[in-house]
């Protein structure tokens, strides 16, 4: 069966899989027994078919996805890394934004999307409304536009990264997912729609450093594989140059130089957590299965020169970043999965046996990831992800919201700042402000001062322990800034 929409040599997986399950009719004496065992064939053919999902099934799946993600996001307490972009979008000048990008190593696309909301007086929660919308767009691309087997299209949006890490936690990575999937959806039409393709690549380069590296490899593949369109090349180059201009490291950036860290275990962590995120048992087996998925997928896409260049070129760059620059958390390791899905989406002429083996292994990964997603949905609904919201509520309930508030450390207490309009006094850097200013000297930023026990500690996190984020939070409240400075 040929899938016209995907461009793959997509013969159904069902005939191949069915050869393992169908019993030969010659082994039976009655037609009833044959009929009984053949009932599975239509179901197997349907779930493994690369044909588009029926529209009703895709719409129902997307609606369920939106309901689940919106419900969990409504119960999610943002932490510092979610607060800082909102605060920068609300309070920072253009020059301060550039300093933030150059010290934090993240270009500004997410910040620029937040500026209209933050500066128009929209509530802090509008950031998550926008973020859930971006995540839903990525899920819609998988459901409606991907060439994956139907069971994969229905499972992928509900797995850990796409229904929690890149959906509920408001960071730049949801933009990476939706833009990478948009590039994949346009990949076969890049010669017919070069400008749209180039715009998606340029925007991808401006989401984060990892995506900048991936976008660069996509641009190189475009130069080598396609009928080059000058306008498209110019747009991609402009997007890459804009990203580099924003993130070119300042002399006192926290991550600087060619080698900033050394984590030789990072590739094994990536193989395990990209495909079996947070799975607490059989971690060695999870690492082996992750490696097997990458190997088999590489064989499946090996006939597509451009795709294999993007996949392994990006893996090489990510390996360098993870080992020698910054591992980060599970959210960074998820790029290994994003790239593999991009490769399976875009590669042509995939050998049937390798493709079947790849999706068989990925199905194990997706089920495990779905289970972990459901666990994290429950945790984030029942327990505090961060203590910031409860601490802010405690301050308001005790009539201290209009007093001068001191917070230490700056990089922790800044998670409270979106709930207040006045700046905090940060003793560690001896300055008023809202967001955590990572452009300050590494010797001063939050680690340069040791504060005695604060004047008043908000006991909000006693109600329920924070299961993630940073619950080590205290607000020192005083009648005047002078009194706070005496700390």
The reported pLDDT for the residue numbered 185 is 98
Q: Tell me the pLDDT tens digit for each residue of 256-293.
A: 677 888 899 999 999 999 999 999 888 899 999 999 99
Q: Are residues 314 and 239 in the same domain?
A: yes
pLDDT higher than 60, residue 1: no
The reported pLDDT for the residue numbered 468 is 54
pLDDT band, residue 381 (cuts 50/70/90): very high
Q: Are residues 350 and 282 in the same domain?
A: yes
Q: What is the number of domains present in the chain? A: 3
pLDDT higher than 50, residue 446: no
* 186 within some domain: yes
Closest CA to 470 of 355, 400, 391, 396: 391
The reported pLDDT for the residue numbered 258 is 77
Q: Tell me the pLDDT tens digit for each residue of 314-328.
A: 999 999 999 999 888
Could you tell me the sign of the dihedral formed by the alpha carbons of 378, 383, 384, 389, in that order?
Answer: positive
Question: What does each C-alpha distance from 182 to 3, 141, 196, 201 come to in angstroms?
Answer: 19, 7, 10, 9
For the segment 196-201, the average pLDDT, to the nearest whole number, is 98
Domain boundary among 338, 357, 382: 382
Q: Are residues 108 and 200 in the same domain?
A: yes
Those residues whose C-beta lies under 8 Å from the C-beta of residue 19, and which sit 6 or more positions away, are none
* 8 within some domain: no
Least confident of 23-32, 96-105, 129-138, 290-299: 23-32
Structure tokens at 441: 């000297």
The reported pLDDT for the residue numbered 356 is 94
Q: Which helix (H) or strand (E) element contains residue 425?
A: strand 424-426
The reported pLDDT for the residue numbered 334 is 97
* 222 within some domain: yes
* 1 within some domain: no
pLDDT higher than 60, residue 299: yes
Q: Are residues 69 and 217 in the same domain?
A: yes
pLDDT higher than 60, residue 34: no
By the 8 A CB rule, do 310 and 217 touch?
yes
pLDDT higher than 80, residue 466: no
Q: Are residues 192 and 325 in the same domain?
A: yes
If DSSP states are collapsed to H, E and C, what string results for 130-184?
A: HHHHHHHHHHHHHHHHCCCCHHHHHHHHHCHHHHHHCCCCCCCHHHHHHHHHHHH
The reported pLDDT for the residue numbered 319 is 97
Helix, strand or coil for residue 424?
Answer: strand
Domain boundary among 365, 382, 399: 382
Q: Are residues 95 and 76 in the same domain?
A: yes
The reported pLDDT for the residue numbered 228 is 84
Distance (Å, whole) CA 239 – CA 187: 18
The reported pLDDT for the residue numbered 414 is 83
Q: Tell me the pLDDT tens digit for each residue of 54-90.
A: 999 999 999 999 999 999 999 999 999 999 999 999 9
pLDDT higher than 90, residue 183: yes
Domain boundary among 382, 398, 430: 382
Q: Tell me the pLDDT tens digit for each residue of 383-417.
A: 999 989 998 999 989 888 888 888 887 777 888 88
Q: Are residues 27 and 152 in the same domain?
A: no
The reported pLDDT for the residue numbered 13 is 47
* 7 within some domain: no
Share of the chain above pLDDT 90, in %: 64
Between residues 74 and 34, the one the model is more confident about: 74
Tokens 């992800």 belong to: 385
The reported pLDDT for the residue numbered 37 is 42
- Plot region of 430 (φ>0 → left; ψ -120 to 50 → alpha; else → beta): left
For the segment 234-255, the average pLDDT, to the nearest whole number, is 91
CB atoms within 10 A of CB 179: 27
* 2 within some domain: no
Q: Which helix (H) or strand (E) element contains residue 201?
A: helix 194-204
Domain limits for position 37: 13-48
Q: Are residues 262 and 364 in the same domain?
A: yes
Q: Are residues 334 and 378 in the same domain?
A: yes
Q: Are residues 200 and 349 in the same domain?
A: yes
* 67 within some domain: yes
For the segment 175-204, the average pLDDT, to the nearest whole number, is 97
pLDDT band, residue 437 (cuts 50/70/90): low
For the segment 100-114, the average pLDDT, to the nearest whole number, is 94
Residue 205 DSSP class: T
The reported pLDDT for the residue numbered 481 is 33
* 30 within some domain: yes
Q: Are residues 267 and 334 in the same domain?
A: yes
Strand order in the sheet with 424-426: 431-433, 424-426, 404-407, 475-478
The reported pLDDT for the residue numbered 253 is 74
Distance (Å, whole) CA 117 – CA 150: 37
Those residues whose C-beta lies under 8 Å from the C-beta of residue 335, and which sit 6 or more positions away, are 176, 210, 211, 214, 274, 314, 318
- Give Rg (Cα) of the chain: 25
Distance (Å, whole) CA 48 – CA 147: 11
The reported pLDDT for the residue numbered 202 is 98
Distance (Å, whole) CA 194 – CA 132: 28
Q: Are residues 355 and 408 in the same domain?
A: no
Closest CA to 161 of 384, 466, 372: 372
Distance (Å, whole) CA 410 – CA 430: 10
Distance (Å, whole) CA 343 – CA 340: 5
Distance (Å, whole) CA 61 – CA 157: 9
Least confident of 26-30, 83-87, 167-171: 26-30
Instruction: Indicate the average pLDDT of the chain.
Output: 83
pLDDT higher than 50, residue 445: no
């Amino acid at each position: 069966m040929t899938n016209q929409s995907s461009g793959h040599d997509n013969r159904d997986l069902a005939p191949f899989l069915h050869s393992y399950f169908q019993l030969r009719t010659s082994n039976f004496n009655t037609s009833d027994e044959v009929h009984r065992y053949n009932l599975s064939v239509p179901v197997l053919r349907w779930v493994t078919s690369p044909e588009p999902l029926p529209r009703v099934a895709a719409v129902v799946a997307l609606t369920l996805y939106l309901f689940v993600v919106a419900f969990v996001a409504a119960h999610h307490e943002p932490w510092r890394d979610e607060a800082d972009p909102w605060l920068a979008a609300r309070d920072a000048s253009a020059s301060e934004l550039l300093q933030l990008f150059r010290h934090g190593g993240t270009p500004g696309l997410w910040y620029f999307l937040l500026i209209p909301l933050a500066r128009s007086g929209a509530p802090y929660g509008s950031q998550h409304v926008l973020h859930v919308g971006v995540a839903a767009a990525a899920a819609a691309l998988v459901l409606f536009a991907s060439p994956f087997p139907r069971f994969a299209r229905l499972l992928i949006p509900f797995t850990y990264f796409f229904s929690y890490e890149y959906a509920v936690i408001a960071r730049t990575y949801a933009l990476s997912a939706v833009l990478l999937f948009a590039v994949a959806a346009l990949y076969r039409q890049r010669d017919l729609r070069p400008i749209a393709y180039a715009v998606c690549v340029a925007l991808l380069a401006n989401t984060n450093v990892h995506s900048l590296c991936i976008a660069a490899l996509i641009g190189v593949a475009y130069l080598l594989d396609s009928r080059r369109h000058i306008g498209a090349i110019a747009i991609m180059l402009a997007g890459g140059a804009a990203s580099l201009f924003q993130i070119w490291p300042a002399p006192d950036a926290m991550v600087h130089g060619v080698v900033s860290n050394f984590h030789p275990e990072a590739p094994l962590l990536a193989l395990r957590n990209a495909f079996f995120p947070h799975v607490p048992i059989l971690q060695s087996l999870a690492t082996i299965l992750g490696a097997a998925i990458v190997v088999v997928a590489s064989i499946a896409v090996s006939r597509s020169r451009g795709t294999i260049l993007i996949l392994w070129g990006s893996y090489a760059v990510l390996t360098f970043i993870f080992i020698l620059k910054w591992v980060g958390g599970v959210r960074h390791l998820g790029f290994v999965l994003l790239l593999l899905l991009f490769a399976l989406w875009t590669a042509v002429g995939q050998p049937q046996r390798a493709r079947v083996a790849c999706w068989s292994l990925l199905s194990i990964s997706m089920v495990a990831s779905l289970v972990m997603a459901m666990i994290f949905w429950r945790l984030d609904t029942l327990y505090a992800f961060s203590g910031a919201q409860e601490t802010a509520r405690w301050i308001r309930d005790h009539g201290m919201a209009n007093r001068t508030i001191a917070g230490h450390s700056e990089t922790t207490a800044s998670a409270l700042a979106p709930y207040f309009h006045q700046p905090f006094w940060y003793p560690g850097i001896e300055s008023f402000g809202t967001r955590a200013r990572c452009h300050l000297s590494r010797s001063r930023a939050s680690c340069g001062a040791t504060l005695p026990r604060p004047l008043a500690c908000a006991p909000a996190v006693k109600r329920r322990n924070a299961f993630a984020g940073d619950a080590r939070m205290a607000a020192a409240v005083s009648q005047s800034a002078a009194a706070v400075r005496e700390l």
